[in-house]
Each structure stands twice: as structure tokens, then as C-alpha cells.
Structure 1
Amino acid sequence: MEGIDFGQNMQPVQSVAIIGAGNMGSGIAQKTAQEEFDVQMVDREAQWVERGQTIISDFLAEAVERRIFSPEQVEQIKGRITGVVGTENTASDTDLVIEAVFEDFDIKSAVFNTLNEVCNENTILASNTSSLSVNELALASGRPDRFVGLHFFYHPAKNRLVEVIPGEDSSEDTIARTVQYCRGLGKVVILCKDRPGFVVNRFFVPWLNEACLLLQEGVASAAAIDAVAMKAFRIGLGPFALMNLTGPPIALHSTDYLAEQLETPRYVGAENLREMVEAGNQWEIGDDTECSEDAAQEIRTRLLGQVFAVAGQIVDEEICSLEDVDRGAKVGLRWARGPFELANRLGIDDAKA
């Protein structure tokens, strides 16, 4: 996935539209405006556009309190964001339109059908998807040569990672202009193949599910599993705390999707995770971090082993480079070390065991 041609005649992206003003869409709009792009934030109803603007205002108010931006800079940022009601009202001459609606193929396809009609032939369409097939979305868009997948990580105004996923028919110009836009946002870009889970979620989601299986089997408490994981991976939050932060339904949806797409029964959502989602609850973690050394060793072995195995598959399938796998873990997940760095530190023989 190397060798992007940033030709001298390439027209840079200057105007951007974000379809969907939820937490992710408003975050992408905010970051885009912060980097001095003109951006439209589009949603179906005025109330959703206004909600997105409120989310942005709240984040920027916090940034003023922390002296990241001055009040004058905040007004300039908000002034670059235009609220638009209705996808059909997206400006026809927009350079790049990023769809950030619910993770449902039919909903996304309907958005792209509208965009393909209202946008001119030079507009690039992109989907902010974490799991759906970019190639299938590209075909549904009606302009597969000017289509690309983008996977921003939450919160997009803070998290520096973005995965760029070209479709089979994405033109070199489409890829180059999109990558240049992402780098203009200050993002670390991983260019990867269209495979289920892309890069980071491919190893991170099974890692979460393995923690659920450890709890389900009674190996240790959720607090103990989190504590062992935090020490083994040198991270600030363990798998259960992370699931509570992002929402257990996202973890369940993601792991079931990978199980189906990769035909890997091991990835099917653990029963305790499924019951948690059905009940609308979050994990009760508690403070009991004690467990036996044997239990701690099993937790370390299974969590590390899951990551090592999947990271190896990613490289074997040429989804991206070994270095990009590590980069994704460190930038996107804020791990101190990536999977291959962890394996090297442990020793290859022990990592394979």
C-alpha cells in the first residue's frame, strides 16, 4: 500500500462536508475546522445539526478553559462550520464529503445515492466506517473511482490516528487527495487493504472478547482481568473499563461482525457480553483486583496470545506493514508498545508458545 503519487497537478481538498452530526461526525467537523478547512455539518433535521453544534461548542469551551485555544480562535473555528439540514442540500462543488452516519449498510448506501446525484463529478465520497466493506460501499455509491474508506478513532479532534482504506477501483488521485487531507488534520495515516476490521479493530476487538471469555469462565474478576491487562500492556484502562467507556453494544456488534466475516467462531460475542447488552447494562468492575499467580498468568497468556496471533495474520495477509500495526496500537489505542514490540520484548519463542 505504498507509493502514493502526490503529483504537482493534484488539487488539494479545500472544502469538506460531514454527513451526520453525532459524536463522531461533529468531532470530524470540529477537527476539520480547527485546521482551517471550510466545512458543512449536515444532518436530516435542524435539531440534530444544532445538537452537533452544541457538542462542538462544549468541547471548544473546555479547550478555552485549558488554554488550548483563545476565545477568538474558538469563534473563528465555529465560523468555518456551516450547519446544513438535509443531505440533498450539500453544496455540489464540495471537494470531499465524509459520511458519518449509523453503521448500517443500507442507511449509508441511501446517503451515497443522494450524494452521487447532488455532488459534481469531481467530489470524492468517503465513508467513516469501522467495519463495513469499503468495496461494497464504493459500488453502492455510483462512483467507485472517487470513493474511499476512512476510519477515524474517537474522539477525532483528539485521537491522531486514521485508517485510509482504498477500494479496488479508487483512483490514485482520490487516494492521494484524501491522504493529504488527513495529514492536513495532523493525523497519522495508516493506508490499508479492505479487510474485516481493517488494522486496529482486527486485533483489538478479539482482545476485548477474550477478556469477556476469561470472566465468563471464572478465571478472575473483571477488576483483576483489567489490572493484569493494564500491567501487561502498559495501558491506562483495562478491557472492561474500555468497553464501559465506548459502550458494550459496540464491542458486541464488532466482534460478531468479525466472527461472521472471518468465519472464526472464537470471535462470536461471549454470552456474558451478549447478556450485558440485552439488559442495557455496563460491566460492574469493582475494586477486587486480587487473583492467584496462575490466574494472572492465564490472563496474560491469552490476551497477549490473541493479539500476537491476529497481528501476524494482518501482516501475512498484507493488509498493512508490521510497523503500521505497531503504529496503530500506539497512536490509536495509546498502548505503550505495539504487538510486535511486545513480542520482541517477551522474546519470539515465548510469544509463539
Structure 2
Amino acid sequence: MHFFYHPAKNRLVEVIPAEDSSEDTIARVVQYCKQLGKVVIVCKDRPGFVVNRFFVPWLNEACLLYEEGHATPAQIDSVACEAFSIGMGPFALMNLTGPPIALHSTDYLAQQLDTSRYTGAQNLRDLVAANEMWTIGEDVDCDDETAKTIRERLLGVVFAVASQIVEEEICSMEDVDRGAKVGLRWAKGPFELMNEFGVDEAYRMAQGYTDLQGEGTGFKLPEFLQVKGQTGNPWVFEFVDAEIKNGIATININRPEAMNALNETVVAQLGALLDNLNDDSTIHTIVLEGAGKAFVAGADVKFFVDRLDENAFPKIYDFTADGHDVLSKLENSSKTTIALTTGLALGGGLELALSCDYRIGTRRTQFRFPETSIGIYPGLGGTQRTTRICGVNAARWAILAGNWIGPKLAADLGLLTHLVEPADVDATVDSIAENGKPSNKYTGAPVRMSEAVQAAVEFYSDENMGSIIVGQTPEGFNDDDSYAIRQIKQISRTAPIALRMASELIDVASSTNLEEGLAAELQNLEGIFATKDAYEGLSSLIQGRRPTYTNE
């Protein structure tokens, strides 16, 4: 296993199997890393593995740019930060992790990969010999031609080496990008950057870097990059894949850098995959899981804001309707469906899980419906399925106030069907698969009336809703009642229109069938997204500030 600096904070880990590593051993190591909250890339045992294979040459190329007199460290860092949308350039990063590490790593790659250009730059050697750090300075301005040279050299090395990684089948291009975004905290990975600049331009830059190699070098630019560049088409990424074993298909939503948030691509790929799996007679069970520490952390909020800015509500409706279709493929599947909600499941992610027959959780499980606090309501079946699982009052507690739901409380409510130790997850999946679909998925009442559940059910009773919906403490509760104070405080942070609409949709669930209730969610969609409060709430989340609602 290869952990990244700082291992306590950096979520990436590369898992490198040996030639004789069994599938079971690899699976156990990956599961262990996931239990640590890590994002896992399984890759071949090659020098540099994945991230350092392109990152270390990137650092050395920056040193060469300085050594050749093109620019200062400050100028190179500034151009790099702009080109890669990063917070620290190569020289600042070397100072952070230590120049000796950069020198050792690049010399190692030069030797192992027979690439002389990777040999540590002389200025880096001199710096390490003197036991010094880079002096970066503050003069970051440079002319356009210099900036172009820096940008194209640094992008070129990344594009060229990332292509080699894929050609050598060390890992997929999605994992290369994932490594850059999670391990290095780049805004976009190498292949996403190629799409941004144009694959034809990316090939030109990669070829330009390749032309800098000396005679007799082992560095070769993969031909497929040139072919792709000539087509003019961008790379297409797969964020959803499946592994099938003994009749169990495990779907992995693999977008951990965004906590597996649902966007148009993920929804479309998940829907297409479910169609294939539902039609496969050899499969009896479908398991959904998310890469990294989250199952799925809701829908991509930026998508909603961008569409509102464009005055393009129909695109929001279509995206949500497509989401309903995908969840219906789970709801109505003849297969046994299981969501591995062993981490965060928020908003749309929790709605996705609730469309499954079963939900397995561990001590790390955390659920929440945050929608009313960001100006909207759960629009992918949250108001309907939650109510049918745990009853109207408990659904009000979960949805209207957006209370956090820990693993035990989720199990008491019935939102989790199985709460197990992390080591028992696989065995639980096998047991569920053997027993098949539940006899009654929607019981309409909590599984256990624990103290916390009892308090929620009593507080959010029909009699109290008139006061709660306007942010007032209901009769029968003292002003100093800590539970009532906490709930009303939560309610006060919600958008009033979203709160009312969510409450009405929960009531709809108690008097309709599921199909009618889901249709009601879609019918009210335009009404909620037309409000000023919806735009304010969604925008505030992106901007990292507290919203100010006007009930408009």
C-alpha cells in the first residue's frame, strides 16, 4: 500500500498487488482501506505507481525551466497554479515535502524507466547538497511568451506520462484523474485537463515534451494519444462500473473526489447499467456502493445553480425525472437490491439508497436530508419512501428539520435494515442474497420505538405541526425544553416555502400510492425552483456562507 502525504489527512491510497496476490486478499485490503475512509486506486507494480509517475517528472520539469533561465520559481509557481487550478506550485510543494524527496524520486524514475530527462536537475542537486529550501520570492509577473512556455512544458509532461500510464495498463484514465484530484488536490485530472484544452492541443503539448527527450531515451509517447487528438473528440469517462461474482453484481459509483455526487453522467451511466443487470438472468442480487468515505453525497448542486442562471428549468426537470426513472429501476427490479451505506448518504444519495430493498450500515454510517436548509425539498422520492418506511411523524423529523441520523437511530427508524460491524459487511450481503427480497419493504412505522424515536414522533405530531411550520414551540413544551429548542432552531434555518412544500408532500405520502406520490414530487418541482429562496440556498452552499431567506 502507498499512502500519500500527509497520511492522516490525504484520502488517497494506492494498492499494488503482487503477481501471486489472490482476489480475496486484494478485496480485503481494499475493504480495510475503505474502512479508514480512504479512496483506493488498485494499480500495477510499476515505478512511481500512478500519481508519482506523472507528478515527480512535473516537479523536475519545473526545476529545468528555472535552470534553463526561462523564469523564476515564483513565476513558474504562479503559472502552474493558474494552469492546473491549484493552490501551490511545484517549488512550494517541494519545500513542503522536502527537496531531497523530490530528488530521490526523480532519480529513481530516471533509472527505472530509462528516461534521462527525469534525472534530477542540477539546481535541485545543489539545493539538496546545501541542505536548503527554494527561495521563491513574490515577483510572479512574466510576459505572455514566457507564461506559454511554462504552461505548455508542465502540461506536456503530465499529458504524456498520464497517457503512458494508461497504455501500460497500470490503471484506468479515470483512476489517473482520481489520483490527481484526491491525492494532489488538483481541480481536474490530466485527462479532464486534456478535454479542457482540447485533446488535439494536449497531444501537441505532449509531443513537444517528448521532443525534448535526448537520444536513446526509453521515453515513448503512446500512439493512441495522437489518434485521439486527430478525432477532435474529448475523452469519455466511466464513473459507474460493476463486478459480477456468484450471481451478485456490485455496482461501484466511482467519483470519490466529489463524494460520488449525482450528475447527468452518473445518472445516465447508472441507468444504462441497471438495464443490463436487470435483463441478466444469471444475476439475482444487485449491490450499490460508493467509492471513498461516502455512499453518495446528494446531487451536484452546481448543476442546479448553473441551470437557474441560464433560466433553463426544463433541464432541471429532465435531470430529476431521469433520476426518478433510475430509482424506479431499483424499486421495481426483480433482483434483490442492497445499498452499502457504510459512510455518508445525503440528500439524493439517501434517496437512492431508500429505493433499494435493503440498506447495510456500520458505525460510520451517517444520513441526512439537507434540502429544506438549502431552499428545496427532497425531489428523488425522499418525501415518499421515507414516510412509507418509518411513518409520517418520523419522516417530518428527518426531512423538515434535516436532522443528522446516526447508525443506531437509522436502524431504529428502519432507514437501515442491517447495522453490522465493518468486517461483517460481505457476509451480510451473502446472507441477504440467499434470503431474497423482503416480504414488506414499507411498514410505515419505526422498527424500534427507542427514546430518540419516541421524542421525534411525539414532537412532530399532527397537533404540533401548525406551530412547528411557523417556527414556534408547540403547546405542551416548555420554552426551556432542550429538545424543543434544538428542533425549532433547526426549523428556523430552513427556507419557509421549501419547509411547507416538503411537509405537504409528506402528507401526500400518507394518502396515495408510491407512484402517485412520486408524481407529486415532480409536479411541484417547478414551483420550488422558481422561488428566490431556492436560488439563495443553493448558491450559498456553493459559496460556503449561511443563506438569508425572504420567503419568496
The TM-score with structure 1 as length reference comes to 0.57
Once residues 154 and 341 of structure 1 are traced to their aligned partners in structure 2, the CA distance between those partners, rounded to angstroms, is 24
| Alignment gaps of 5+ in structure 1 | 1-149
Once residues 153 and 279 of structure 1 are traced to their aligned partners in structure 2, the CA distance between those partners, rounded to angstroms, is 27
Say which of 249, 273, 279 aligns to 2:100: 249
**Which position in structure 2 is the counterpart of 1:214?**
65
**Which position in structure 1 is the counterpart of 2:112?**
261
| Residue 330 (structure 1) aligned with residue 330 (structure 2) | no
**Which position in structure 2 is the counterpart of 1:307?**
158
| Residue 171 (structure 1) aligned with residue 32 (structure 2) | no
Once residues 266 and 337 of structure 1 are traced to their aligned partners in structure 2, the CA distance between those partners, rounded to angstroms, is 25
Which segment drifts farther, 164-173 or 212-221?
164-173
| Residue 234 (structure 1) aligned with residue 119 (structure 2) | no
**Which position in structure 2 is the counterpart of 1:108?**
none
Larger RCO of the pair (alpha carbons < 8 Å, separation 6+):
1
**Which position in structure 1 is the counterpart of 2:4?**
153
Once residues 237 and 192 of structure 1 are traced to their aligned partners in structure 2, the CA distance between those partners, rounded to angstroms, is 27
**Which position in structure 2 is the counterpart of 1:198?**
49
| Residue 224 (structure 1) aligned with residue 64 (structure 2) | no
TM-superposition CA deviations, 1:249-300 (whole Å, max 9, x none) = 0000000000000000010000000000000000000001121111100000
Once residues 250 and 258 of structure 1 are traced to their aligned partners in structure 2, the CA distance between those partners, rounded to angstroms, is 12
- Amino acid paired to 2:105: S
Once residues 8 and 118 of structure 2 are traced to their aligned partners in structure 1, the CA distance between those partners, rounded to angstroms, is 31
| Alignment gaps of 5+ in structure 2 | 205-552
Once residues 178 and 20 of structure 2 are traced to their aligned partners in structure 1, the CA distance between those partners, rounded to angstroms, is 27
Cα deviation, residue 170, structure 1: 1.2
Larger Rg: 2
Cα deviation, residue 156, structure 1: 1.3
Taking only aligned residues, the RMSD between alpha carbons, in angstroms, comes to 0.5
**Which position in structure 2 is the counterpart of 1:277?**
128
Q: Secondary structure at the match of 1:156?
A: coil
Cα deviation, residue 315, structure 1: 0.2
Once residues 155 and 240 of structure 1 are traced to their aligned partners in structure 2, the CA distance between those partners, rounded to angstroms, is 18
Once residues 306 and 169 of structure 1 are traced to their aligned partners in structure 2, the CA distance between those partners, rounded to angstroms, is 33
Once residues 158 and 274 of structure 1 are traced to their aligned partners in structure 2, the CA distance between those partners, rounded to angstroms, is 30
- Amino acid paired to 1:202: R
Once residues 342 and 152 of structure 1 are traced to their aligned partners in structure 2, the CA distance between those partners, rounded to angstroms, is 25
Say which of 140, 149, 154 aligns to 1:289: 140
Aligned residues with identical type, % of pairs: 75
Say which of 23, 33, 36 aligns to 1:182: 33
Once residues 194 and 318 of structure 1 are traced to their aligned partners in structure 2, the CA distance between those partners, rounded to angstroms, is 11
Say which of 181, 184, 190 aligns to 1:339: 190
Once residues 241 and 316 of structure 1 are traced to their aligned partners in structure 2, the CA distance between those partners, rounded to angstroms, is 31
The TM-score with structure 2 as length reference comes to 0.37
Once residues 28 and 162 of structure 2 are traced to their aligned partners in structure 1, the CA distance between those partners, rounded to angstroms, is 29
**Which position in structure 1 is the counterpart of 2:267?**
none
Cα deviation, residue 340, structure 1: 0.2
**Which position in structure 2 is the counterpart of 1:319?**
170
Cα deviation, residue 151, structure 1: 0.5
Q: Secondary structure at the match of 2:40?
A: strand
Cα deviation, residue 345, structure 1: 0.6
Q: Secondary structure at the match of 1:179?
A: helix
Once residues 335 and 290 of structure 1 are traced to their aligned partners in structure 2, the CA distance between those partners, rounded to angstroms, is 23
Q: Secondary structure at the match of 2:16?
A: strand
Detail structure 1 runs of 4+ shifted over 3 Å in the superposition.
none
- Amino acid paired to 1:270: A
Cα deviation, residue 173, structure 1: 2.1
**Which position in structure 2 is the counterpart of 1:111?**
none
**Which position in structure 2 is the counterpart of 1:87?**
none
Equivalenced residues, count: 204
